[in-house]
Structure 1
Amino acid sequence: MEGFITNIQKCSVHDGPGIRTTVFFKGCPLKCKWCHNPETQSYMPEMFHNSDTCTLCKICISKCDMGAISFDNPLISYDPQKCTMCEKCVDFCPSSCIEITGKKMSSRELLSQIEKDIPFYEESGGGATFSGGEAMTHIDFLHETISLCKDSQIHVTVDTCGYAPSESFEKIADLVDLFLYDIKHMDENIHKEYTGVSNALILHNLRLISRLGCKVQLRIPLIDGFNTDEKNIRETAFFSKELGITGVSLLPYHSIGNYKYPRLGMGVALQFEKPSDEKLQNIKIIFEEYGLNAKIGG
């Protein structure tokens, strides 16, 4: 079985216990306005064009047999509907300013990359983390891959937004050692405004895997003006306590990935604010009041 992967990050220490290999799947059902990995939103490979290093030599245009690349003064323009991912533009670009995001890999090819770092996993208590995008929307490919990991006695973590069929969570529940589960907002309307989807399925699936006895650690991206108000924080903490969840990572907003938007032809990234250090500490204290072990950062 095969799937599209955007990145395999080695020696990760923020995506579960120990030293890990984090696999980023391509494609996500959410469209979070602050997304720092926009290259993982589409389920298909895309052209990633760095206009800062582009010399406008237009060789890529002449080499594209499908007419997917054109010059839209003053920029190179790309039509994903025409692109066949032949990668001639990548091969012939003299300034190496074009990449294709998303590489098709089989489960066994992915396993071979993950297995290379088994000594680090054994030494540190680490393993493999499957992230995205949203790995849960590639359930058959994910199931096959993590089954192979378990055969090799590799610890498996799934980092998820929770927006996937409940049957998908049931299918892999007994194979996953840890779920890193995002909760973005408790209010359904606000959640939909900022992510494009309702939170009803997300909350339902969190209840489900908690009931199934899965180990869960919450991850909450904190964006000032979106979800840092006391009402939302207390509702999130109460909901977590009711499910028996004991750990939460508070992840302050950052703009590190904003440069990716224009390179993908997605315009300019929206700007959000990081909560102040004082507000972060107050949020941490609220979660601790509800009996959760809260930490700032991954």
Structure 2
Amino acid sequence: MERKALIFNVQKYNMYDGPGIRTIVFFKGCPLRCKWCANPEGLERKIQVMFKKNSCVSCGLCVDACPVGIHEITPEGVHRVRRDIDCTGCGKCRSVCPQAALEINGQVRTVSELLKMVEEDAAFYSMSGGGVTLGGGECTSQPEAARELLMACRSEGIHTAIETCGHTKPDKLFSIAEYVDLFLFDIKHMDPKRHNELTGIGNERILSNLKELLTRRYNVKVRMPMLKGINDSREEINQVIQFLLPFRDDPNFKGVDLLPYHKMGVGKYSQLDIPYPIEGDPSLSQEELDRIEGWMKACNFPVTVVRH
């Protein structure tokens, strides 16, 4: 039986996540719970209902349509999505909603189906030096499906990349690695305790995997989500520099991307009935980003500020 993956989006014409024009395949499931995550719909490895409360008129049509009872009208006459019941992904509630207030997040796709979607833009990859990037969520949370899709893309001459938080068993990571042309590997914080506070998991395995990838000469670009008061201090940046310094001049180390915090994913939290974990606005000013970029360039690191 052909391998299948649970995904939540296939995004075409991406210019930010790897070289050239790319197609991004977003896998569901992630071991981390980063407070600033822009894709909360990718955290759980299951199909979910996304509910735009402000669009709903509580007509109850979805209640009658849902075969497993996810939707209900409360005694106060308000539509509520029951998060204790798993969605089957049938889409019946979505099809009957007159206000387009419901979306089904999560689709099961075979590797062949995904490859066909990726291949649709092969001409753009050839023209721009682009390809496919597996993102999420975290693609290594579905290692067999990720590996088979990467193998299939490679066999068609398509450049492959993955975005990864790096928290996975080494044997799973390196079973995938031989089919990855470029790793986009996150460093979120260097201190294990603080990393745990921010993401729910320590960083020991993450940093070990990163060091091993670089040591084995896989192509790696480090990515750093940047948040004011969280990981923008001189001390934190110096620790990143010291960690990466032994690899700075290796041709397989492709430099550092700084990813400024943004709020593009905030609205999705309420659609999933999840409280947004960050209070205030940890955005960095242009001056602050320029300063961090300057610290890294002063140590001869190739660094880019990536703005969406």
Q: CA deviation at 1:104?
A: 0.3
Matched residue SS, 1:197: coil
Give the letter for the 1:185 counterpart. H
Provide the C-alpha distance between the structure 1 equivalents of 2:294 and 2:86, rounded to a whole number of angstroms: 52
Moved more, 169-178 or 98-107: 169-178
Deviation at 1:270, TM superposition (A): 2.5
Structure 1 runs of 4+ aligned residues shifted over 6 Å read none
- Whether the aligned pair in 2 keeps the contact of 1:150 and 1:156 (CA below 8 Å) is yes
2:263 corresponds to which residue? Answer: 255
Cα distance in 1, alignment partners of residues 120 and 175 from structure 2? 27
Residues 1:134 and 2:115 aligned together:
no
Alignment match, 1:234: 238
* Aligned-residue offset at 1:267: 2.9
Q: CA deviation at 1:54?
A: 1.1
2:133–2:161: 8 Å Cα contact kept in structure 1?
yes
Equivalent residue letter for 2:258: L
Q: Tell me which of 243, 249, 254 is aligned to 2:247.
A: 243
Q: TM-score, normalised by structure 2?
A: 0.93
| Pairs within 5 Å for 1:218-229 | 218-229=222-233
Structure 1 residues 161 and 82 mapped into 2: Cα distance closer, same or farther (>3 Å)?
Answer: closer
Percent sequence identity over matched residues? Answer: 36
Q: Secondary structure at 1:256's aligned position in 2?
A: coil
Q: Name the CA distance, whole Å, in 2 between partners of 1:65 and 1:154.
A: 41
1:46 to 48, 56, 64: 48
The answer to whether the 8 A contact 2:47-2:87 is kept is no
Is the partner of 2:103 in helix, strand or coil?
strand
How many residue pairs get aligned? The number is 298
The letter of the residue matching 1:16 is G
Asked if the contact 1:186/1:235 (under 8 Å) is kept, the reply is yes
Cα distance between partner residues in 1 of 2:22 and 2:84? 33
How far does residue 221 in structure 1 lie from its aligned partner after superposition?
0.2
**Where does residue 286 of structure 1 map in the other structure?**
295
The two structures have a TM-score, normalised by structure 1, of: 0.96
1:239 aligned counterpart, secondary structure: helix
- Shifted more, 194-203 versus 66-75: the winner is 66-75
By how many angstroms is 1:169 displaced? 1.9
Aligned residue in 2 for 1:24: 26
Residue 108 (structure 2) pairs with residue 104 (structure 1)? yes
- 2:32 is paired with a residue of what secondary structure? coil
Instruction: Write the distance in 2 (CA, Å) between the matches of 1:45 and 1:223.
Output: 30
RMSD of aligned residue pairs (Cα, Å): 1.4
1:8-38 CA distance string (max 9 Å, x none):
1101000100000011101110000111110
Instruction: Quote the residue 1:273 is aligned against.
Output: 282
5+ residue gaps, structure 1, are none
What does 1:87-166 align with in structure 2 at a 5 Å threshold? Answer: 87-166=91-170
1:81-137 CA distances to partner (integer Å, 9 max, x unpaired)?
A: 253332221121111211110100011100000000000000000000000000011
- Give the superposition deviation at 1:55: 1.4
Q: Which residue of 2 is the match for residue 204 of structure 1?
A: 208
Q: Does 1:2 align with 2:10?
A: no
Residues 248 and 295 of structure 1 are in contact (CA less than 8 Å); yes or no, is this contact kept in structure 2?
yes
| Deviation of 1:63 (Å) | 1.9
Return closer, same or farther for 1:290/1:5 CA change in 2, 3 Å cut-off.
Answer: same
Kindly indicate whether the alpha-carbon contact (under 8 Å) linking 1:185 and 1:227 is maintained by their aligned counterparts in 2. Answer: yes
Inter-partner Cα distance in structure 1 for 2:193 and 2:165: 17
Deviations 1:27-83 (A, max 9, x none): 110000111110000000100011121111111112223222112444423234253
- Structure 2 gaps of 5+ residues are none
Q: Per the alignment, do residues 187 and 82 of structure 1 end up closer, same or farther by CA in structure 2, a change over 3 Å counting?
A: closer
Flag the 1:183–1:129 CA change in 2: closer, same or farther, 3 A. Answer: same
